[in-house]
Amino acid sequence: MSDLGHVLVLAGGLSYEREVSLRSGRRVAEVLRAAGVDVETRDTDATLVPAVLSDPPDAVFVTLHGGAGEDGAIRSVLELLDVPYVGATPDACRVAFDKPTAKAVVRSWGLNTPDSVALPKETFHDLGATAVLARIVDRLGLPLFVKPSRGGSALGASIVRSAEELPAAMVGCFAYGDTALIEQYVQGVEVAVSVVDLGDGPVALPPVEIVPDRGVYDYAARYTAGQTEFFAPARLSPEATEACAGMAVAAHAALGLRDVSRTDIIVDATGKPYFLEVNVAPGMTETSLLPMAAEAAHRDLGTLCKGLLELAAARR
């Protein structure tokens, strides 16, 4: 057994991504047990705080996606309980979880990111949706990509190829959040680059290329086996691969992240990468990208998760 003692995997929560989180938690618990770690899995309900107080874990692995799992709230509670955890601090989570803010930060570091505008639902109500949407198309052009400013798993996200499609895309987006991020759609190769730091500095794992069967990497394409083809490592030139790795590590540093992150990138036809967003609690399911990247790097997932927990425990 591991010297860690017992660790806690948090999974579930009440966000739209609850089912994915539960699957991530099961996967992490399985690989940790295979690595000799004593694991307990818990949801974020009223029993969590009393349980942690009565039997504090050596460290916590957060596999909560969306909402409190990535906006810093649960991590703030863990800090109140003086329990070490894998991943970014609450302050860093708050910056990374808000996509427009994260884009502004990485742009200030010189990273490419598609031009965009973020607008709350009230703006369309107060100023008139027709007039505002027309100005968006005039300013950013077409096609566009619309997504909630917070959240993940492509919920509420869609590609807009004509001005007539934009109102419906906004309605779909506002079903999952009160602020929409509308950005220029960059045609190219979609890749995800995971970054891990086991104490020697952040290192990019091989990029994973994403090729959804229907052309859109939506919720079903992400979590239904067989609907997306993945290439790990991605079929990029050595120069583009190096540029994507550098972008992911730079985004990890710019946003003040810790231990682990995943950056989503589009590589255009010239090999130029564009930062899309960053995830502070990457998915760990059977179809998730970080486990694929670890396998491509010939790194055992259980050993990797155990190492992250040991690093977190050492911070106590």
Residues labelled as active-site residues = 17, 153, 223, 262, 264, 277, 279, 283
Sign for the CA dihedral angle at 124, 128, 133, 139 comes to: negative
The three-class DSSP label of residue 228 is: strand
Query: How far apart are alpha carbons 247 and 267 in whole angstroms?
Result: 11
Q: What angle do CA 307, 304, 295 make, to 5 degrees?
A: 170
Q: Which long-range contacts (CB under 8 A, 24 or more apart) does 283-287 make?
A: 283/20, 283/24, 283/65, 283/153, 283/222, 284/24, 284/25, 284/27, 284/28, 284/63, 285/20, 285/23, 285/24, 285/27, 285/223, 286/23, 286/27, 286/225, 287/222, 287/223, 287/224, 287/225, 287/228
- Which of 190, 247, 180 is closest to 221 using CA atoms? 190
- Which of 161, 184, 182 is closest to 114 using CA atoms? 184
CA distance from start to end of the chain: 21
Query: How far apart are alpha carbons 169 and 164 in whole angstroms?
Result: 10
Half-sphere exposure of 51 (CA within 13 A, CB side): 15
